[in-house]
Structures are given as C-alpha cells and as structure tokens.
Amino acid sequence: MPAQPTGAPAPRDGRIPATSAAGCETRDFSLYVHIPFCSVRCGYCDFNTYATEDFGNGIGLGTYADDAIAEILFAARTLETSGVAKRPMRTVFFGGGTPTKLPARDLVRILQAAIDVFGLVEGAEVTTEANPDSVTREDLQTLKDGGFTRVSFGMQSVVPEVLQVLDRTHTPSNVPKVVAWAKEVGLQVSVDLIYGSPGESLQQWERSVRAAISYEPDHISAYSLIVEDGTKLAAQIRRGEYTMPDEDLMADMYLLAEELLTEAGYNWYEVSNYSRSEDTRSDHNLAYWRNQDWWGIGPGAHSHVNGTRWWNVKHPVPYAQKVRAGESPAAAREVLDTATRAFETIMLMIRVREGLAMRELLAVHDEAQLGASLRWLVSQALIEPDALNSQADPDPEAHVRLTLKGRLLGDAVTRELLPEISEEHEEY
C-alpha cells in the first residue's frame, strides 16, 4: 500500500482557508464515501483496503456506518464555520474496498444522513461499487428504494486465468445475473474491465469485452492495469513469476476495445470510459476531471474544496477515534497555487472528450510557443485540427481534443501542453 503524499499539518477543526471558501457557490459539490473492507485483498490493488472486519476496541465493519456519519456531520459543521456556501450534492459515490461488504441498509443510512445535512440536487447521480458476489437482488432493491441510482460492478475479466492472476475471487457467471437484477430494480449499471494483466492475450481480452457488451450495461470502463509499487503483483513481477505485456499489445487491446464498444453503441467520453448516452456517463468521475469540489468520507479518503486538498488518516482505528472525538480525521493538507491548479486542469481535462478549453492554455502559455506546440500536435494527428483558427494560430474559443491516436499517446500530449516541461519534439 503506497504512502500518503506529504503536506502541511491539517487543523484539528478542519477549517478551510478563506481563499478557498470564496467563490464556492459557483462550483459543484459531491460526496465520496470510502468503504475500506474487502473479503480478499487483490494482488494488484493499492487502494486503502483491509481484509478484516474487526479491528478491536469496538471498531470495525459493524460500527463503520456510524463513524462515516460522524464525519458527514463534522463536514457539514466545518463547511459552515469556514464560510463555504452550502450546496446540495450533485453526485455521491461509494467506493472501496467493497462497499457492499456493508449491509445495504447501512449504505442507505449513510446516504440519508448526507442528504439530511447537505441536500441532493434533483436528478443527482448516486453510485455504489459492488463485487458481483456480494449483492443479492434484495440488496439492490434496498439500494434503489434508499436513493441510489447507479451501481458499478467490478467485472475485470471473464477469463478465469486472468482473474486468478489478479486475485479476483468473484464468479464470472455471477456478473450477467447481478447486472440483470440491477436493471430490473431500476438502477443504471456500469461494469469495470481491466486489460493488460500478465499473460493476458488479445483473444482473452476480446472475450471479456464481448461478454461485457452482451450484458447490455449502460456504461463500461476499460482501464489498463497499472502495477503499483508495494502490491503483491509488483512483487511477483519483480521475482519473475509474471511478465507484463509489451506496449504494442496494450495499444492493440485499447484499439480493440474502442472498435468493439463503438460498434455496440458505446461512445468514449473519457480516455477509459464509454457510455450509451450523455445521460449514462459517470457524473461523479466527471466532477473529478473537471476539478470540482468534493468531500471524501472515510480512512484515506481525499477531499478538495476550491484549491484546498486534504487526505484522511489511512487506518480505520485512528480514523474512528478522531471522528468519534469530533476532530478532523485529516492527516495533512495542501493549498494549491495558481500554477499547480493550471497544471492539474491541463492533465485532467485533456483526457475528456469535451477537451481542454484553449483559454486555460492561453492563461499559462506564451501564445507563440503554444501555437507551435499545437501545430506540431495537429501535424502528428494527436489532437483535432479545430484547435487552430484559419491562420493556424490557437483559437481562443476552441477546445483541444484528443484524436484516437492522441488517446494512445496522451502522456506525450500532456507533456507538450505543460509549459514548464515541454520538450524537444519527437515523431509519433
């Protein structure tokens, strides 16, 4: 499990600086609820999760809903005393871990507590992640009746050998069953896929994509496997037990997913995410990519309010002790300067289909240098040509949008658009 980032000490009362409180009324507000419990810790996972239900001293799965609610109440008080404009939640997302390790009634109780103190925008998206083996039809009905609108199932692959490498324990045949149940009770459905597992072939990846399409979910995520230091899988690769696929195979997997998903009526709206329509995109993830505001509930959860970012202590025991004492569970925080915020906007928004507003780039770039970078990116077919006006200069009203080739080489595009680290051009 990776170490948390460094930062300045967080105040015990959680007060948000006045510079960040100002102007929040124009920004969307979301809630993330982290559920840190899993039946088994997957070998590739570097999230803050624990394969235990009882940490002793009255702290564990059975008390977690109350601790999460305690932080929700703390968040509401802190935002009010900091002078942050009260806004209803536009999205709510329960992630993990495995949120559905908690009883469905506890998830609903946490959601209702948040609605009681923050309110909820009409038509708001409320999502929980779920392991296909950890929910029943009755659970899904309880979630729907309790205000959830969407469920995201961790499918990863349909191939048992691939799931074994990832240490995934769910039964592949359960995925179509739970997808059908969720649709029957009226929930939108997303399924998550991972490609590039050690030993996975292009044919095996195709089986998984075709299977996911056959379940007819509203949304499909297709993420490339990133092996993080400190994970079991990283150690296995280091010992030579597994070998990662080469970059060409990874690119072929992405292109195959793009082809199959597009043919089936799914359209990309972020580099790794596809939906049947605008109404079935993940609004919560878009809030992250658009750098909006959110409060993260739970151990290790990250929060962001208008340029102030903080992260909670990682272990459930000190987390519970702090929220029960009415203190901020934050381990540290940072107040982002203008340059860092611009840097992050470029990195995030270039990934999204709507693209990066040219105004964001003109605010941090010399126009002549930016024009040269954009002309080169267009010449390499990495961005759409409409970023330039008829004189081949940056169009202030345009957006910089990735081509399919640009999605494959998104890091190179980002490097070119970040003024402080632009490098000599290479041919792609």
DSSP 229-277: TTSHHHHHHHTTS--PPPHHHHHHHHHHHHHHHHHTT-EEEETTEEESS
Residues 208, 162 contacting (CB under 8 angstroms) = yes
Each residue of 334-370: pLDDT tens digit?
999 988 898 899 999 999 999 999 999 999 999 999 9
CB 284 within 8 A of CB 296: no
**Rounded to an integer, what distance in angstroms lies between the CA atom of residue 93 and that of residue 30?**
8
Name the packing angle between helices 338-349 and 410-417 (round to 10°). Answer: 150
CA distance 86 to 21: 11
Block residue for tokens 């790794």: 272
Residue 159 in tokens: 């191939």
- Backbone phi and psi for residue 336, each to the nearest 5 degrees, phi listed first: -80, 135
Is 222 strand, coil or helix? Answer: strand
What value, to the nearest 5°, has the Cα angle with vertex 106 and ends 101 and 107?
75
297 φ, ψ to 5°? -95, 135
Per-residue pLDDT of the chain (428 residues; tens, 9 = 90+): 455 666 788 999 999 999 999 999 999 999 999 999 987 766 656 677 888 899 999 999 999 999 999 999 999 999 999 999 999 999 999 998 899 999 999 999 999 999 999 999 999 999 999 999 989 999 999 999 999 999 999 999 999 999 888 887 778 889 999 999 999 999 999 999 999 999 999 999 999 999 999 999 999 999 998 777 777 777 887 888 888 888 999 999 999 999 999 999 999 999 999 999 999 999 999 999 999 999 999 999 999 999 999 999 999 999 999 999 999 999 999 999 988 898 899 999 999 999 999 999 999 999 999 999 999 999 999 999 999 999 999 999 999 999 999 999 999 999 999 876 444 555 55
Rg, C-alpha atoms of the chain: 22
Tens-place pLDDT, residues 31-45: 999 999 987 766 656
Residue located via tokens 């970012």: 309
Burial zone of 299 (CB within 10 Å; 0-12 exposed, 13-18 middle, 19+ buried)? buried
Which domains does the chain possess? Answer: 8-290 (3.20.20.70), 338-417 (1.10.10)
DSSP helix, strand, coil percent of the chain (3-state; round to 5): 40, 20, 40
Pairing of strands 356-357, 399-400: antiparallel
Q: b/e string for 81-98 if b means 16 or more Cβ within 10 A?
A: ebebeebebbbbbbbbbb
How do residues 129-151 score in pLDDT, each as one tens digit? 999 998 999 999 999 999 999 99
Candidates 266, 280, 289, 37; CA nearest to 149 is 280
pLDDT of residue 362: 94
State the CB neighbour count (10 A cutoff) for residue 26: 8
- Give the C-alpha separation, 188 to 384, whole Å: 32
